Amino acid sequence: MANHKSAEKRNRQGEQRRLHNKYYVKTMRNSLKKLRATSDKDEANELYPKVSSMLDKLVKKNIIHKNKAANLKSSLTKHVNSL
């Protein structure tokens, strides 16, 4: 348990950030699943820019690492091109 006011505040902030990041990561995973599950070329071409943009924004907010986003975008591009 925290012994200082500042440590208590850091605990509160950390919990808020954890919930905030959890929401964004879950949203990202759902959109990735949706894109990977699609077998329609037109739908995939429509979804890919949105998912790619989402990944870039998450990197900018330090929610995911830039290399992870690059790897995900690469594999999604391969999937879309293979349709």
Tokens of 67: 């290399």
Q: Which residue is associated with the tokens 């699943």?
A: 33
* CATH architecture of the domain with residue range 5-82: Up-down Bundle (1.20)
Quick one: 31 exposed, middle or buried, by C-beta within 10 A (0-12, 13-18, 19+)?
Answer: middle
Q: Where are the domains of the chain?
A: 5-82
Would the pLDDT of 38 be above 90?
Answer: yes
pTM: 0.84
Residue 24 banded pLDDT, cuts 50, 70, 90: very high
**Cα-Cα-Cα-Cα dihedral sign, residues 23, 67, 77, 56:** positive
